[in-house]
Amino acid sequence: MTAPGSDPTIDPEALRRRAEKALRTARDRTHTLTTCVDEPDLTAQHSPLMSPLVWDLAHIGNQEEQWLLRAVGGRDALRPEIDSIYDAFEHPRAERPTLPLLAPAEARGYVHEVRGRVLDILERIELRGAPLVDAGFAFGMIAQHEQQHDETMLITHQLRRGPAALTAPPPPDADGGAALPAEVLVPGGPFTMGTSAEPWALDNERPAHHRLVPAFHIDTTPVTNGAYERFIADGGYTERRWWTADGWAYIQEHGLAAPLFWRREGGQWLRRRFGVTEPVPPEEPVVHVSWYEADAYARWAGRRLPTEEEWEKAARHDPESGRSRRYPWGDEDPTPDHANLGQRHLRPAAAGSYPRGASPLGVRQLIGDVWEWTSSDFLPYPGFRAFPYREYSEVFFGPAHKVLRGGSFAVDEVACRGTFRNWDLPVRRQIFAGFRTARDAS
Annotated binding-site ranges for Fe cation: 59, 145, 149
C-alpha span between 200 and 414 (Å, rounded): 9
Single out the residue of 307, 304, 354, 305 nearest to residue 329, CA to CA. Answer: 354
Name residues whose C-beta falls within 8 Å of residue 112's C-beta, 6 or more positions apart in sequence. Answer: none
Single out the residue of 427, 3, 20 nearest to residue 251, CA to CA. Answer: 427
Name residues whose C-beta falls within 8 Å of residue 213's C-beta, 6 or more positions apart in sequence. Answer: 186, 188, 189, 190, 191, 309, 310, 313
Q: Terminus-to-terminus CA distance in the chain, angstroms?
A: 40
Residue 412 and residue 137 in contact, taking contact as beta carbons nearer than 8 Å: no
3-state SS assignment for residue 362: coil
C-alpha span between 348 and 343 (Å, rounded): 10
C-alpha span between 275 and 163 (Å, rounded): 5
Give residue 345's Cα distance to chain centre. 15
Torsion angle of the four alpha carbons 409, 410, 415, 419, in this order, in degrees rounded to the nearest 10? -40
Residues paired with 278 in a beta bridge: 271
C-alpha span between 85 and 81 (Å, rounded): 8
Binding site for gamma-L-glutamyl-L-cysteine: what residues are annotated? 93-96, 424, 428
How many residues belong to the chain?
442
Strand locations in 206-356 (E): 209-213, 216-219, 262-265, 268-273, 276-279
The string of DSSP letters for 37-100 reads S-HHHHHS-S-TTS--HHHHHHHHHHHHIIIIIIIIT-PPPS-GGGTTTT-TTTS-GGGGGGS-
Sign of CA dihedral 223, 226, 343, 88: negative
Binding site: what residues are annotated? 59, 93-96, 145, 149, 424, 428
Beta-carbon-side half-sphere exposure of residue 101 (alpha carbons within 13 Å): 28
Inter-CA distances, 440 with 310, 344, 360, 429, Å: 11, 36, 20, 28
3-state SS assignment for residue 212: strand
